[in-house]
A and B are shown apart, each in its own frame.
Chain A
């Protein structure tokens, strides 16, 4: 290694040139990562398309080519998968539409609260972030226990303060959605709040001072200083929250178990059922590409909306 490098180094005299390593040495450094990256990211991304074009039953030796049949089935009413697939897409859609606004607005409120100067600010920031480091399995079991319609503490204390003590949090509409969104907000709000908080601290205090000199009240300061200052952070929060919500799986798998019926079974849960439980992987792969395409379109629309606002 040293012998091949030294003549090169001699020919390059400027510091900028010296910074450049040899071509193959760089690849040697990247090799371990590239092997895993190639094998489990690049290969499956392409392999998945190939699978989706076959009647790929994992349990059978023959996997005949079916072209776009798996995709056509998803869009033909009356096919085996049609109604279940779209019901699961609807569940993912409902969850996303309900949870994203909550996870954009509530953490912002919390960040504004934590942005005030008071003793123990770091401590409280840590407390609100804490649930986020726990896995969905822990959160799911805990929620199921606390929200149990019969013996759960939530219903008990609701009854105590004169509200209904028989709310079917985990079994019936619309409460299952309240549960799934509420638990997710409780679990992940610290993540967005911390991002907002960093964004708030990047807004120069002089801007607030100038606004106050111009006679702006608190609401006006928020509208004309805070919100514009947070725009790049907002784009990030909305996009990542959108993707995370569309990927929801564990909460409904553990807390509502898809109930009632399959109303809260998300698209990912259905893809996993179809591909990894029933082993119809061609069909499941096709579903995952359709879902990914939906996500791409939604993300582009959201991005467009923010860009237009910026231009206006």
Chain B
């Protein structure tokens, strides 16, 4: 506690040096700082706000110059073609496909990766080092190398044009196992040993001791994996074909072709696609950002 406070107080004065240089004028530098933050906020939120606002404009309202900030008149007509499930662009289908695929992939990754990570983190077995070396090694293979062969493998499994192609292959990635292994390794061994003395087997220790203690890590991985799968673009646009089977990112590029200049419709599609990601981000912001920053410090 004391160390935290010490760090805080010394940091608040040192890097900025505001207190040390009265000649500079803290007022001026503080204003410049606030102004910079304001402009940056506008740059980062502005385009997203523009997307949501445009989705409620009429076609003329979306393309008129000078542009108006607020939709006038405001309309939901941009959303109507997207809700029609019989059209060539059933965005609502794509949305549900994406949610389903993203959730299924996240669960698949979290289940298989937690089992594997537990074995690697806590058990000694022949071939462990070799196997772990292989898994980590694949982190360095650029993903496009799998594009052609996996397309052929998926076609041989008759998974082309089905959500299986989006759900399963990417679950082979090493990130989830790597992420959870780091966390499992940090758990105290005493807990496991106590459970062993009580006669618990490996499975019981895993499900009753390790998993409950790992809830924060498991939910972070679920969110990260969902977002990755939900946003994936390159793979779905090539393995899915029929309008009813597309995921949202794959569908959006078709939407762009179908409604070339109808920007309210296109922006409505983009807005629908953004909502789950933004909601998840708002909920899990802290743990997401922390897991990202930790990944940099470890690497």
Least Cβ–Cβ distance between B193 and chain A, in angstroms: 6
Which residues of B in the span 92-128 have a Cβ within 8 Å of any Cβ on A? Answer: 108, 111-113, 115-116, 118-120, 122-126, 128
With A25-B123, A128-B44, A198-B296 in contact, is A51–B248 under 8 Å at CB? no
Question: Considering the chains assembled together, what is the distance between the CA atoms of A198 and B36 in angstroms?
Answer: 21
Contacts of A149 in B (CB 8 A): none
Q: How far is the CB of A224 from chain B (nearest CB, A)?
A: 14
- From the candidates B47, B147, B189, name the one contacting A272 in the complex (CB within 8 A): B147
Chain B interface residue bracket vs A = 35 or more
Report the separation of the CA atoms of residues A240 and B298 in the bound assembly, to the nearest whole angstrom: 13
Residues of B within 8 A of A104 (CB): none
Contact call B145/A117, Cβ cutoff below 8 A: no
- A110-140: which have CB < 8 Å to B? 110, 113, 115-118, 122, 124-131, 133-138, 140
Q: Count A-B contacts at CB 8 Å.
A: 316
Q: A18-B196, A141-B269, A197-B293 are in contact. Are A250 and B234 (CB under 8 A)?
A: yes
Known contacts being A20-B124, A253-B253, A254-B253, is A276 close to B148, with CB within 8 Å? Answer: yes
Overall SS of chain B's interface: helix
What secondary structure prevails in chain A residues at the interface with B?
helix
Mark B283-299 against chain A: 1 for CB-CB distance below 8 A, else 0: 00110110011111101
> Known contacts A124-B37, A134-B231; is A233 also within 8 Å of B65 by CB?
no
A75, CB-defined interface residue at 8 Å: no
* Bound: A233/B294 CA distance, A: 10
**Nearest B residue to A268 by beta-carbon distance?**
B144
Residues of B within 8 A of A254 (CB): 253, 256
Contact A113 B231 (CB under 8 A): no
User: Does B166 touch A at the CB level, under 8 Å?
Assistant: no
Q: Is the beta-carbon distance between B15 and A292 smaller than 8 angstroms?
A: no
Q: Say yes or no: is B222 at the interface (Cβ < 8 Å to chain A).
A: no
Chain A residue with the shortest CB-CB distance to B63: A151
Shortest beta-carbon distance from A91 to chain B in Å: 14
Q: In the docked arrangement, what's the CA distance between A32 and B119, Å?
A: 12
Q: Which residues on A are within 8 Å of B, measured CB to CB?
A: 1-2, 5, 9, 15, 18-27, 29-30, 32-34, 36-45, 47-48, 51, 58, 110, 113, 115-118, 122, 124-131, 133-138, 140-146, 151, 153, 156, 186, 191, 194-199, 202, 205-206, 208-209, 212, 218, 221, 232-233, 235-237, 239-240, 243, 246-247, 249-250, 253-254, 268, 271-272, 275-276, 281, 284-285, 288-289, 291-292, 295
Q: Which 8 A-B pairs give the minimum distances between C-beta atoms? A: A135-B231, A195-B296, A198-B293, A21-B123, A44-B149, A20-B124, A137-B249, A33-B116
